[in-house]
């Protein structure tokens, strides 16, 4: 596990974008695993900037997103499909058919999760998976549990995640209660993992997840067992890491 410390959010975003664009330059038809949330917005902005300058080309890149709220349509501005188009896909030369987000409108959860898992396999797996980190240690929507879920599955969101995500909705009641997410096994199969995290509010969970025991109670702790993980974190997020 490599940890890069940055001074602030901007530097974290730039470093993460650097690593992702290096992947795209080395393998133009790579599969990028992508995340939503507030943390990667600066990374996507930086990639867009470099695309506009002619430094990165997404014309052959393929993407798979980690997760999607169950029940939200693509045109709902809180869906992760919408988020990805707004922050990245509509701003670069990626082909729509090469981008993939779980289909939140498929009512048959098993069918959609099996389809998504098979899709990732058919693409040859993920070359680099971008992750954010939830306050409770979740990655994707894999919430603290007694086991590490293996495959793409449907989850019930915890109260703490609903609370954390309500800032994007009119009220907590509007936050969907379920989501489709890649499993921990799906994430661990990625060839490389890039986790980005910033802010003092995540300092406790960073220390627990990456310097504490590996346990499904802290889903991100499993990343300690992946052979190629890069964490890019600002100083505030690393402030409680044991020296
Ligand atoms: C989003 C995702 C989540 C977020 C996490 C952190 O696709 O999978 O695990 O990465 O909730 O969210 P932010 O970045 O908003 O703090």
Whole-number Å distance between alpha carbons of 167 and 180 = 20
* Nearest atom (ligand 1) to Cα of 142: 9
Report pTM.
Answer: 0.97
Position in ligand 1 atom list of the atom nearest CA 39: 14
- pLDDT confidence of residue 220: 98
Query: What are the residue numbers of the active site?
Result: 67, 136, 138, 143
82, 84, 85, 90 alpha-carbon torsion, rounded to 10°: 170
- Pocket lining: 219 vs ligand 1, CB cutoff 6 Å: no
Closest ligand 1 atom to 35 CA: 7
Q: For ligand 1, say whether the CB of 36 is within 6 Å of any of its atoms.
A: yes
Q: Whose CA is nearest to atom 9 of ligand 1?
A: 140
Q: What is the pLDDT of residues 185-223, one digit of tens each?
A: 999 999 999 999 999 999 999 999 999 999 999 999 999
Residue with tokens 């690393």: 238
pLDDT tens-digit map of 7-29: 999 999 999 999 999 999 999 99
Digit-coded pLDDT (tens) for 33-78: 999 999 999 999 999 999 999 999 999 999 999 999 999 999 999 9
Give the number of other CB atoms < 10 A from CB of residue 34: 26
Instruction: Give nearest CA residue, ligand 1 atom 2.
Output: 140
Give the span between the Cα atoms of 4 and 15, in whole angstroms. Answer: 9
């Amino acid at each position: 596990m490599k940890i890069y410390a940055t001074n602030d959010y901007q530097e974290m975003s730039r470093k993460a974008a650097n690593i992702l664009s290096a992947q795209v330059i080395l393998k133009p038809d790579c599969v990028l695993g992508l995340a939503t949330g507030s943390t990667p917005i600066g990374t996507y902005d930086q990639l867009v900037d470099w695309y506009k300058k002619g430094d990165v080309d997404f014309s052959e890149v393929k993407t798979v997103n980690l997760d999607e709220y169950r029940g939200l349509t693509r045109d709902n501005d809180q869906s992760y499909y919408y988020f990805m188009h707004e922050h990245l896909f509509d701003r670069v030369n990626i082909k729509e058919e090469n981008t993939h987000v779980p289909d939140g409108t498929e009512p048959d959860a098993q069918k959609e999760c099996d389809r998504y898992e098979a899709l990732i396999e058919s693409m040859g797996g993920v070359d680099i998976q971008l992750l954010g980190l939830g306050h409770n240690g979740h990655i994707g929507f894999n919430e603290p549990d007694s086991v590490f879920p293996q495959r793409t599955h449907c989850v019930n969101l915890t109260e703490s995640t609903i609370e954390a995500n309500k800032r994007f909705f009119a009220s907590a009641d509007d936050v969907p209660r379920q989501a489709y997410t890649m499993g921990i096994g799906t994430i661990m199969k990625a060839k490389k993992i890039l986790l980005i995290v910033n802010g003092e509010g995540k300092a406790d969970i960073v220390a627990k997840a990456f310097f504490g025991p590996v346990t499904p109670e802290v889903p991100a702790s499993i990343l300690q067992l992946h052979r190629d993980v890069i964490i890019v974190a600002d100083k505030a997020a690393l402030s409680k890491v044991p020296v």
